[in-house]
Amino acid sequence: METQTRQPVFYVRDVPVYGDLMLAPMDGYSDLPFRALCAEFGSAMSYTEFVSVDGLSRRGEPDEITARKLQFDAREYPKVIQIYGHDEERLVESARRLQDLSPDIIDLNLGCYVRKIAERGAGSGMLREPGKIARVFARLTRALHVPVTAKIRLGWDERTRNYLEVAHILEENGASLIAVHARTKAQGYTGSADWNAIAEIKQAVKIPVIGNGDVKTVADIARIKAQTGCDGVMIGRAAIGNPWIFARQDREQIPPAERIALMRRHLARHLEFYGARAGLILFRKHAYRYVQGGRGAAALRHALMLCDDLRAFERLLDEYAAELNAYAPICQDSPIVLE
């Protein structure tokens, strides 16, 4: 695979990373079936969806939903567990216990913008307390034997873009990598990611920096690398329904039959992982993103989103496959819209 080289592209402390593209942690999407699929295509690090340390018991045992988020497939390497929380004691103790699950890396989320998380001082809320970041990282890196990393935003809002201060604090307190979603908390997903800020961070620290935000195409991968000098490129929304991006192929390049075949394979893994009913329901949002371009795509997406019967779902896919084959030249030329 093109992105997989024998030589590590960079190291997270002593953990080798064999590629420069990685699937972003995405709650509700970057579960084991999707991560394993993306790993096949070249995603070179495997981040869990974020896991609240409050979803772990005091003894570090996860509830049922959290336990599922913490499972990995043998194909995934390095395995990164991403946690979030506001309570220092609980963060450190939980991270320590999570090592029993044999992750290769533990990552702390300093970027989540969801109000009920950020306003409690977790996720991007921690960016408002650089002193707390210093304390937490100093303690985490002392307490854990695996490398500890951070995923940040640029700051709380436009007036407090403290990303350079935070990057220095992270490095000084033992963090082994910084992934940067180049927006502030206040921006949410509005405006565009400020890749120049990623370049500034890359210049400011010696640890690896991963650039993230608005990478939608293979051409964007080259652009963000050239503009920032980042060690790796993290791709989130544009990978949904489009794992080919990790093999540096844009979706339009993929023959329709291959697209449908992969979608079916992804569905099969979902059913296996979540069970038949939940597996289908949870797959629908992926299906929505696989089905792009071609005649009848909008109507099919709508039908798939409402479908809760596996046979009917598969029939819809058969019809779509027949449609795509009949109109293959049209589909391959049709623009892909990132929603």
Nearest-approach distance from CB 261 to ligand FMN, in angstroms? 25
Contact 128, 87 (CB under 8 A): no
Contact 34, 286 (CB under 8 A): yes
* Residue 79: C-alpha distances to residues 74, 101, 108, 236 (Å): 10, 10, 14, 17
Tell me the C-alpha distance between 75 and 38, whole Å.
Answer: 10
Q: Does 210 bind ligand FMN (CB under 6 A)?
A: no
Q: Does 20 bind ligand FMN (CB under 6 A)?
A: no
Mark residues 136-155: x for contact with ligand FMN by CB under 6 A, - for none: ---------------x----
Q: Does 55 bind ligand FMN (CB under 6 A)?
A: no
Report the residue number whose CB is nearest to ligand FMN.
236
Q: Which is nearer to ligand FMN, 237 or 289 (CB)?
A: 237
Tell me the C-alpha distance between 327 and 44, whole Å.
Answer: 35
Lookup: tokens for 162: 């403290």
Tell me the C-alpha distance between 100 and 82, whole Å.
Answer: 15
Contact 82, 25 (CB under 8 A): yes
Q: Does 290 bind ligand FMN (CB under 6 A)?
A: no
Lookup: tokens for 207: 């640890």
- Which range in 26-34, 69-77, 265-273, 320-328 contacts ligand FMN by CB under 6 A? 26-34
Q: Which is nearer to ligand FMN, 26 or 310 (CB)?
A: 26
Q: Which residue has the tokens 């409690």?
A: 120
Q: Does 194 bind ligand FMN (CB under 6 A)?
A: no
Tell me the C-alpha distance between 247 and 129, whole Å.
Answer: 39
Q: Which is nearer to ligand FMN, 19 or 111 (CB)?
A: 111
Q: Does 122 bind ligand FMN (CB under 6 A)?
A: no
Nearest-approach distance from CB 110 to ligand FMN, in angstroms? 8
- Which range in 73-81, 91-99, 139-147, 208-216 contacts ligand FMN by CB under 6 A? 208-216
Among 69, 79, 139, 181, binds ligand FMN (CB under 6 A): 181
Q: Does 214 bind ligand FMN (CB under 6 A)?
A: yes
Q: Which residue has the tokens 């709508």?
A: 302
Among 34, 41, 50, 137, binds ligand FMN (CB under 6 A): 50
Mark residues 299-328: x for contact with ligand FMN by CB under 6 A, - for none: ------------------------------
Among 19, 25, 125, 293, binds ligand FMN (CB under 6 A): 25
Tell me the C-alpha distance between 329 and 333, whole Å.
Answer: 6
Among 6, 7, 14, 28, binds ligand FMN (CB under 6 A): 28
Tell me the C-alpha distance between 165 and 174, whole Å.
Answer: 15
Q: Is 112 a catalytic residue?
A: yes
Q: Does 246 bind ligand FMN (CB under 6 A)?
A: no
User: Residue-wise over 38-63: b if at least 16 C-beta within 10 A, else e?
Assistant: bbbbbbbbbbbbbbbbbbbeeebebe
Tell me the C-alpha distance between 52 and 109, whole Å.
Answer: 10
Which residue from 34, 3, 81 is spatially nearest to 239, judged by alpha carbons?
34
Lookup: tokens for 103: 């992750």
Q: Which is nearer to ligand FMN, 21 or 331 (CB)?
A: 21
Q: Does 170 bind ligand FMN (CB under 6 A)?
A: no
Helix 276-290 and helix 310-326, axial crossing angle in degrees, nearest 10: 20
Among 186, 198, 215, 260, binds ligand FMN (CB under 6 A): 215
Catalytic residue annotation: 112
Contact residues toward ligand FMN (CB under 6 A) are 24-29, 49-50, 82, 109, 111, 151, 181, 212-215, 235-238
